[in-house]
Structure 1
């Protein structure tokens, strides 16, 4: 007759609880239950936890549940001629408590870890190998997010679980319960889709719904972007900074708003990125995110002077945005504006009305460049500098809609200049008889 007994193999303060499943005198298996207990709370007499606390009583309940589950499975599988071994006992323990092996890539979070572990050799666009540091960082953050969601729902997420009901609940959890922005939630849906498509390529069964997920964003009417105008840049330029680090940050702000690059690409610049010509300065950049080679022409007098004669010193990436806000505060960039600001207490971005200097970050430099020069320069020139793939993406970035009249005006302006360059020609007019 099959029997079950629980026991401890260690006399240390905290010990693993094992189960001994005996089918006969000669056929038995000892396996970890993955439950632990303080030795002083264990009863050698009953081979169970002492009933001296609510936690111990709860553990007894779980062990009784496992005992019943093993006996039920044993009776079912015995009739089917199943082979009983240690793996069979492990499977009973895992399924009784909805556990899975960490190496099981049919589990969503495990596959995310698989991507992270193989990041250096993964194929990416343009036949290149290796995830970028930013992409790898996003996968790690995404894994932590999924881990937190699993804790809340008290369940491991498998690929087969990712259906519409799941994504509806996940969206509600992100936006309503956790207070994340709509744009952030939309990016997480894009991550789910990316992971599921990759898993499908590796012969892991996924739901059709998961590979067709669409990202989502807040409506353009709800979008609030912050930029520094040319007048505000002059305010910053004409404000003396009290410390050496703020003087360097001031220079980075001014340069950043005239070359239109992302914060990371900006702070990685050195004087080696410069080429001087008769009109001004070329700044050569290989954009980290897109890997595009971009050259920006700088002719603004005081920006050229900074680049050639007083190139900014390196500043801590971690504190850069705090320094930016301080520089803008000293320059009296204090207009009250609507926007999102990160709250360290709630660990969330919160919408409200703030002094503008509190909302300026390194990401505003690229937007300031694009916004300030829009309609002053051909859009095609601007998107080649900012690195946007299409005009539509560029316009969404600066929260503008396509101005068809402006395009027509620009065409007429260039057409007039083209005609002005042509030599005038004598034209013979036929004489008309007026009789």
Structure 2
């Protein structure tokens, strides 16, 4: 018959109360309880607090808890005997039942919602939007393949099949590479939460392809500046001025279209001259930026009584600047990819350059036109690139280009 004992193993106060379970010669196990007592108040023979100590309400409650523990242990042992492995770990688990781990989805599409829930307080809404875009892309891929993708299925073969599908439905190679990197991020996050992943996950590589870095050179920017006002509608003139501002400030469209005169302050430089600076917080990075305003921007602002042009939506700006560049006769045949509405797919070929102009072109034009004129570290500060390698890739500089520029110093 099983016997249960309570005992102390230390004379120091407070001492841990141990519980011991014996059953003949086959079982003798012991574990710490969550209870403590001053050894002075413990009766070894009675295996409980002394009668004198029981006058204290807290010790009386302890005595009751210990009696309940012994009763519950005996009941659980009788239920487990012959059914479970009863050993020291079993006794420890009885005293402190292991917490059940939260079970996370093992299906890739389902886990994206879990990832968003974890990250929604730490990332931009644009990142959440990207996650949902990839989720719906994966749903279409599953429908196409008539399969369900589990996180443990994300291996080299999945990567190859998913790439083929994305290219077949018109996604650009670099967009596909970005999506695969996001999928790897989802899987790694799942792995950290105990979800099974494939052993090939970390070896999956999504390489970015070199693309045509489209920018406006200085002659093209000058041509935009010289468009006759009579050739532009009020809306196109407003967009033209924003385009020129972007080419002289190097900021993202999400930032420069928010500029207003309240962000400007004047500071003296080392020569004692007052220079205009604009301070703002970047939407993408939350980084507080302070950059000088180019004299060309100051000239444009004079048209608007010291303020910036009228506010315009990103979409309308993107539409208008194509027309502005067409008016400026920026027609150099340029390789690119555009969606063909008749064919209902993206087509890669040479187009007149103005057709490939988008809201991002001002930032790249600023970086490219000023490379070699302004120290690269200063340019990186303005554009927000964190490494020189990223910056050089952004402006399309290859190792050969850099080597040729170095020949000027040899």
Describe the shift of the 1:347–1:136 C-alpha distance in structure 2 as closer, same or farther (beyond 3 A).
farther
Q: CA deviation at 1:328?
A: 0.9
Out of 281, 285, 291, which is 1:296 matched to? 291
In the alignment, does 2:333 pair up with 1:336?
Answer: yes
Q: State the partner residue of 1:72.
A: none
> Where do 5+ consecutive residues of structure 1 fail to align?
1-102, 122-129, 413-435
Q: CA deviation at 1:287?
A: 2.2
Contact 1:193/1:212 (8 A) holds in 2? no
In the alignment, does 2:291 pair up with 1:281?
Answer: no
Q: State the partner residue of 2:226.
A: 238
Q: State the partner residue of 1:149.
A: 141
Q: State the partner residue of 2:191.
A: 200
Out of 379, 384, 409, which is 1:382 matched to? 379
Q: CA deviation at 1:274?
A: 1.9
Q: Distance in 1 between matches of 2:379 and 2:358?
A: 21
Q: CA deviation at 1:285?
A: 3.3
Q: Distance in 1 between matches of 2:127 and 2:205?
A: 19
SS in 1 for 2:315: coil
Contact 2:239/2:321 (8 A) holds in 1? yes
Q: Distance in 1 between matches of 2:398 and 2:126?
A: 30
SS in 2 for 1:327: helix
Contact 1:108/1:159 (8 A) holds in 2? yes
Q: Deviations over 1:356-409 (max 9, x none)?
A: 111111111111001100111111111111111111111111111352564686
In the alignment, does 2:214 pair up with 1:226?
Answer: yes
Q: State the partner residue of 1:110.
A: 110
SS in 2 for 1:311: coil
Deviates more, 1:333-342 or 1:372-381: 333-342
After superposition, residues 354-365 of structure 1 pair within 5 angstroms as 354-365=351-362
* Higher relative contact order, chain-length normalized (CA < 8 Å, sep 6+): 2
Q: Distance in 1 between matches of 2:131 and 2:319?
A: 26
Q: If the length of structure 1 is used for normalisation, what is the TM-score?
A: 0.63
Out of 246, 249, 252, which is 1:256 matched to? 246
Aligned length: 296
Describe the shift of the 1:174–1:119 C-alpha distance in structure 2 as closer, same or farther (beyond 3 A).
same
Larger radius of gyration: 2
Q: CA deviation at 1:279?
A: 5.2
Q: Distance in 2 between matches of 1:359 and 1:256?
A: 17
Q: Distance in 2 between matches of 1:165 and 1:260?
A: 41
Q: State the partner residue of 2:388.
A: 391
Contact 1:366/1:386 (8 A) holds in 2? yes
Q: CA deviation at 1:310?
A: 4.3
Q: Deviations over 1:57-87 (max 9, x none)?
A: xxxxxxxxxxxxxxxxxxxxxxxxxxxxxxx
Q: CA deviation at 1:280?
A: 4.0
Q: State the partner residue of 1:160.
A: 152
Out of 317, 321, 328, which is 2:318 matched to? 321
Q: Distance in 1 between matches of 2:202 and 2:281?
A: 32
Q: Distance in 1 between matches of 2:184 and 2:344?
A: 26
Q: State the partner residue of 2:169.
A: 178
SS in 2 for 1:341: strand
Q: Deviations over 1:331-360 (max 9, x none)?
A: 221222222223345665421111111111
Contact 1:257/1:366 (8 A) holds in 2? yes
SS in 2 for 1:350: strand
Q: State the partner residue of 1:306.
A: 300
Give the root-mean-square deviation of aligned CA atoms: 2.3
Describe the shift of the 1:386–1:346 C-alpha distance in structure 2 as closer, same or farther (beyond 3 A).
farther
> Where do 5+ consecutive residues of structure 2 fail to align?
1-102, 268-272
After superposition, residues 81-120 of structure 1 pair within 5 angstroms as 105-120=105-120
